[in-house]
Every structure is written in C-alpha cells, then in structure tokens.
Amino acid sequence: MENLQLLLDGFSVLFTLQNIGVTILGAVLGLIVGAMPGIGSLAGVALLLPLTFKFNPTTAIIMLGALYYSNMYGGAFSAILLNIPGDSPAVMTALDGYPMATQRKRPGQALLTSNMASFIGGTIGMIILTFMGPALADIGLKFGPAEMTALLLVAMTSIGWLVGENPTKGLLLTMLGILLASMGMDTLSGSPRYDFGSIYLLGGIPFTPFVIGVVGFAQVIKLMEERNKKTQVSIEKLTIKGSMLTLHDFKRLFFPAVRSGFMGTFVGVLPGAGATTAAFMGYAAQKSFKNEEPLGTGAIEGIAACEAANNGAAAGAFAPLLALGIPGSGTGAVLLGGLMMWGLNPGPLLFTNSPDFAWGLIASLFLANIVTLVIAWGVIPFLIKILSVPTKLMIPIITVVCVVGSYSTSNSMYGVLIMFLSGVMGYVLTKCEYQTAPVLLAFVLAPLLESNMRKAFIISQGSLDIFFQKPISLVFIIILIAIMVFPVVRPLLIRLGLMKRKAS
C-alpha cells in the first residue's frame, strides 16, 4: 500500500502543465522516430537528448522515458505496413502483422491489435515495476563494493556476451567502452589520466556527442546504402473507423497479451536480455497455446504476444535501472547517462534520496502508456504519409541534428569532432559486425565499476578473496563465470554431440 501512496505522490509531481506537455511531446516524437524504419529507439533517444537540456532533471527524464516507451509502439507500425521492423523488437511483429495487413486486408485492426497489446503489456510491466523497484532497491542497500563490482561485471559481460553472434566481439567492445570512459581524470584521486596532454581530453570524452556519434551518426552513414530504396506502402487508405476491433478480436488478443506482458516484464529486468529477447520469447511461448489461426499467417495472437512482451520488457527494464543503476540495454544506458548528466545517481538510494524523481518517472510511464495509446490510435490515418518519407531526405536531416546537437552540448566544435570520430568508429564497427550497445553500456557504467572495484581492493588489501567470501558476490561471480564459459563450451558440446552421432 505504501508503494501505491508513493505512486500517487509521483502523479502529483507529474501533473504540472510542463510535465504533461513533455510527456505528450516525447510520445509523439517517439512514435514518429519509432515508425521510421532504420532509426530505432537507441538513435532516437540519443538524437533527442540535447533537446532536454532546457528542462529540470525530472522533466527531462520524463520526456526521455515517454520517448523510449512510445518508440516500442512506433516500431510495430512499419513492421505491419511495410514488413520492415522499425526496431529489432518489432521483428516478430512483422511475422503476423504484415500478413494480417496485406493478405487478410485488415491493416487497421493489425495496428490496433499491436497498440492494445502494447498497452496491456506495458501496464502489467509498470504495475510490477511499482512494487519491484523499491524491493530491488532494498536488496541493493545490502550491497557493498564487492557485491556491486560483481553485479556490474555480470551486467556488462552479459550484454556484451548476449548481444550479437560473437561474444568475443561483445567483450572487446565492453573493454573498449571502459577504457574510453577512463580517459580524462581519475575519479578517486582527481589526477589527470590518459589525457595525452590535451586540455579537451582532460575533461574526458563528453557523453552526449559520443552517444550521438556511435548511434545516430553511424546510422546515417549506414542509411546511405538504402537511400535509393523506395518505400512501398501497399495499403491505400487507413481510417480510425475502419480500424476498430470486434469483441471477438479483443478476446483473442487479451489473454496472450496478459501472459506475454508478465513474461516480458521479467525478461526486461534481466541485464542484457531486453525487449528483443522478450518479443522472441513471447512469440515462441504463444506457439504452445491454442490459436484460432496458425501463427505466421496473420494471427492476432501472434501480434499480441510479441508486442505485449516487448512493452512489458521496456517497463520492466526500469526496475534495475532505477533501483540498482544497471541498465538492461543500450537505450537504458543512454537514459542512465542522461540521469547522471543531471546529477542524479540511480541506485539503491534513489528511492530514498530523490523520491520525487523516482516516483514521478514511474508515474510518467503510466501516463505515457495512456497518451501513446491515444496518439497511436489517432495517428493511424497519417501513418502512410509518415512511412512514405524517402530515406534520402532523412539523411541530411539526421546529419544536421547530429552536428547541431553535439555542438549544443559543449558549445564548442570539440563536441562535433567527438561526434564525428565516434560516428566513424561506430560505422566501421557495425560494418565489421560488432554491436555497439556494449560500448555505450560500458562507457556509462565504467566509473561506478572502477570506484567499487578499487574500494573492494582497498578493503581486502589487494586480495581477491573478498569476492568469494560474501554469499551475494559469490553468486554473482558464479553467474559471471557461467556467462563467460557457456558460449565457449557450447560449440564444443555441439561438436562432441555431432561426433557421437556420426560414430553411432
């Protein structure tokens, strides 16, 4: 009950004209950015980060939260109408969404199914977040430097290990992100470190231009390959009236959405798993239930399962982010970086020290969920126009936003230079099949990892025993070893299995 009271207090923080305004603005921008194929939530949040500098921290993060959240809705639009997922979690939505829109000639209903399922999944995720967030923070209060070090290592390694096909590349980029973050000044002693005599590097690599470059600018360079592709929208007209769901449709979507909403939320809480994994798992689980039509042929149950799961995961990911300061994905890392820029330190003490902020943000997610549902419904007639914007027009627009946005964060061309260099680095890495999310996560978490690791070693006087003596850190170390060893051992096990099969 105490949590509900605190949530109501959060709503009282939220209900100012400015906060409601930015929630709506974030929801609209998130839907548009999410709907446009090729941009995605990570780039969207990164590109819009400079626009929040005018606000106070609570308002700024409310806007980013709404933007991130509504992006999950938007990603499904292009998946359903064009068979091009706007974001990776929407990949599964396309499997049933596109056939429902084109073969079954029910595009509006497919969009509304996706919106309703997202709403249900998101609501479940937020209710669980309301109770789980403070509970996780209570557990986090018991963590000392050794436990935090072990937990951060698990979080960093798992995202590096799980994202992409090659765990070695994930690990390489995680380490690179940490090293880049350690440039500038030693956080504990205050002495210069790896500044190479540059007055600019003494302040470290600025977060916002770095993120805009690695994600946004790298994406524009990649978009050049698609600039001559013409967007084919096979649906001629969409209306709100023609998009209404029948009671039977609603019954079909409700239970898969509730089931997947719960599953997605718990997947979202795990570091590294995120909305994409949740959508895959929600869809896979739905296959084992009875469906009116086979999945993959335009079944409402298929759309509902993956959309509810990815929105549940998006909400669930806020629990470790706020309570422990551990983001579950690249987008979460950008949000965490944003919080730190405004002087807020997410972690076990956030709910105690900044309750207005923590509960205001959770309340804003509830509001964003409702606002996004309404806007997503209202925007249906305009979707064909939004999706028809040619990529070749998007390239100069995003390039200018990258240049101007990175300049505005430092009021210097140094920001533009960092954006440019990190963008080229991000592009080269992506082309060589390195996923850039681990760099961002490591870049944001590195100072926290370093301070906890050094404190742990000061306490233990240089002994590694400290990580094995306490039960919580021991559990995390075992998980860490399992995460690191499993991908290496798995191919060997598969080979051994194959050899045995061949011999038999």
Partner 1 sequence: MSSVEQKDRKFGVKQYIPIAMIGISIAFIWMGFAKYGFWEDMKGPRPGFFPVIISFALLVASLLALVFSFKEKAPSWPLENWLVPLSVVVIMGTTFIIGLLPSVGLYVLVWLRWFEKCAWKTTITVFLIIMGIVIGAFVLWLGVPFPKGLILNLIAN
Query: Applying CB under 8 A, which residues contact partner 1?
Result: 50-51, 53-54, 166, 168-169, 171-172, 175-176, 178-179, 182, 186, 188-189, 191, 193-194, 217, 220-222, 224-225, 227, 392-393, 395-397, 399-405, 407-408, 411, 413, 416-417, 420, 423-424, 427-429, 431-434, 449-450, 453-454, 457-458, 461-462
Enter the tokens of residue 366.
Answer: 């509830």
Compare residues 4 and 188 and give the one whose CB is closer to partner 1: 188
Sign for the pseudo-dihedral over CA of 174, 178, 181, 183 = negative
Sign for the pseudo-dihedral over CA of 435, 440, 443, 446 = negative
Compare residues 106 and 169 and give the one whose CB is closer to partner 1: 169
Compare residues 175 and 475 and give the one whose CB is closer to partner 1: 175
Q: Closest separation between CB of residue 416 and partner 1, Å?
A: 6
Query: Which residues, at least 6 apart from 153, have a Cβ–Cβ distance to it below 8 Å?
Result: 449, 476, 480
Q: Closest separation between CB of residue 434 and partner 1, Å?
A: 7
CA distance 89 to 108: 20
Q: Closest separation between CB of residue 111 and partner 1, Å?
A: 26
Cβ atoms 467, 150 nearer than 8 A: yes
The letter for the amino acid at 341 is: M
Cβ atoms 173, 436 nearer than 8 A: yes
Q: Closest separation between CB of residue 223 and partner 1, Å?
A: 8
Compare residues 52 and 123 and give the one whose CB is closer to partner 1: 52
Q: Closest separation between CB of residue 465 and partner 1, Å?
A: 16
Q: Closest separation between CB of residue 340 and partner 1, Å?
A: 18
Counting DSSP H helices and E strands in the chain, the numbers are 23, 2
Q: Closest separation between CB of residue 119 and partner 1, Å?
A: 30
Compare residues 176 and 386 and give the one whose CB is closer to partner 1: 176
Q: How many CA atoms lie within 13 A of 350 on its CB side?
A: 31
Compare residues 49 and 95 and give the one whose CB is closer to partner 1: 49
Q: Closest separation between CB of residue 324 and partner 1, Å?
A: 20
Compare residues 175 and 285 and give the one whose CB is closer to partner 1: 175
Compare residues 139 and 458 and give the one whose CB is closer to partner 1: 458
Q: Give the closest residue to 274 by CA, choosing from 394, 403, 163.
A: 163
CA distance 171 to 439: 9
Q: Which long-range contacts (CB under 8 A, 24 or more apart) does 393-399 make?
A: 394/36, 394/38, 394/39, 394/223, 395/220, 395/223, 395/224, 395/227, 398/39, 398/47, 398/216, 398/219, 398/220, 398/223, 399/217, 399/220
Q: How far is CA 29 from CA 21, 55, 66, 71, in A?
A: 12, 17, 9, 8
SS3 389: coil
Q: Closest separation between CB of residue 135 and partner 1, Å?
A: 31
Query: Which residues, at least 6 apart from 359, have a Cβ–Cβ distance to it below 8 Å?
Result: 6, 7, 9, 10, 13, 351
Q: Closest separation between CB of residue 23 and partner 1, Å?
A: 18
Compare residues 189 and 288 and give the one whose CB is closer to partner 1: 189
Compare residues 244 and 428 and give the one whose CB is closer to partner 1: 428
Enter the tokens of residue 60.
Answer: 């700024």
Residues comprising the chain, all counted: 504
Q: Closest separation between CB of residue 422 and partner 1, Å?
A: 12
Compare residues 189 and 504 and give the one whose CB is closer to partner 1: 189
Phi, psi of 175 (to 5 degrees): -65, -40
Cβ atoms 134, 381 nearer than 8 A: no
